[in-house]
């Protein structure tokens, strides 16, 4: 039986933010209020553990919006399972930002 990954509180918040639709670094910082020195290293660890994956936005889209391209993150299947486990471990995580609300905004 494969044991469930045990995430730190910070990692769980970052996973939750990505699941809620905040899919690039600064938006996760903005939503969670965590500093850059916490969010980015947490994302590196999550990516190393294959709980999230990243891809670069197409240059044409960024050019059209007159900004540099973003690196987007999304949950992997393992990441979704880890987030479910984290929700059970940290019940207050749900109150941080309801996913539906984020998706509407």
Partner 1 sequence: MNRLLAAAEDGLLCAAALLVPSRRRAEWLREWRGEIWHVRRCSRRFPARSADLAGLHFCLGALPDALEMRRIAGTTCSTGTTIHRSASYCLLVLAAILAAGWTFALHSRAIVAERHPERYTVRPGLVLVMNARAARGSMAPIPVELYRTWTGVRQKYFDGLAFYRMERTVLAGGRRAVDLPIARSSAQLFSLLGLPMEIGSADASAEPHLVLSDLVWRRDFAADPHVLGRSVQVGARFVHVAAVLPDGGWRMPGEAEAWLLEPDNAISAGGAGYVVAQWKPDSWRTINGSAANITACDAKGNEHDVWAVSFNERTDGPWGPYFVAVLLALLALPALTSVFLSDMADSAIRPSWLRRAVHCAFGAAKIAIVLGIAYILPVDLAYCRTSGFAPGASGMQLLFTLTLSVFGFWWAVADQRKRCPVCLRRVTHPAQVGIASRTFLAWNGTEFMCLAGHTLLHVPALPTSWFYAPRWVHLDSSWKFLFSP
**CB of 74 or CB of 89, closer to partner 1:** 74
- Say how many C-beta atoms besides its own lie within 10 A of residue 54's C-beta: 14
Is residue 99 within 8 A of residue 21, CB to CB? The reply is yes
Measured between alpha carbons, how far is 14 from 43 in angstroms, rounded to an integer? 7
User: How many chain residues bind partner 1 (CB under 8 A)?
Assistant: 20
Asked if 24 touches partner 1 (CB under 8 A), the answer is yes
Site string for partner 1, 27-66 (x = CB under 8 A): x--x----xxxxxxx--xx--x------------------
Helix/strand/coil (H/E/C) assignment for every residue in 74-89? EECHHHHHHHHHHHHH
Q: How far is the CB of 87 from partner 1 (least distance, A)?
A: 25
Interface residues with partner 1 (CB under 8 A) are: 24-27, 30, 35-41, 44-45, 48, 67-71
């Amino acid at each position: 039986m494969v044991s469930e990954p045990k995430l730190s509180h910070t990692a769980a918040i970052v996973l939750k933010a990505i699941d809620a639709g905040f899919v690039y670094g600064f938006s996760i910082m903005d939503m969670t209020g965590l500093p850059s020195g916490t969010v980015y290293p947490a994302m590196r660890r999550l990516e190393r553990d294959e709980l999230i994956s990243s891809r670069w936005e197409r240059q044409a889209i960024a050019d059209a919006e007159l900004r540099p391209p973003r690196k987007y993150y999304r949950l992997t299947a393992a990441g979704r399972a880890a987030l479910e486990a984290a929700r059970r471990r940290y019940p207050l995580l749900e109150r941080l930002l309801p996913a539906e609300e984020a998706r509407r905004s």
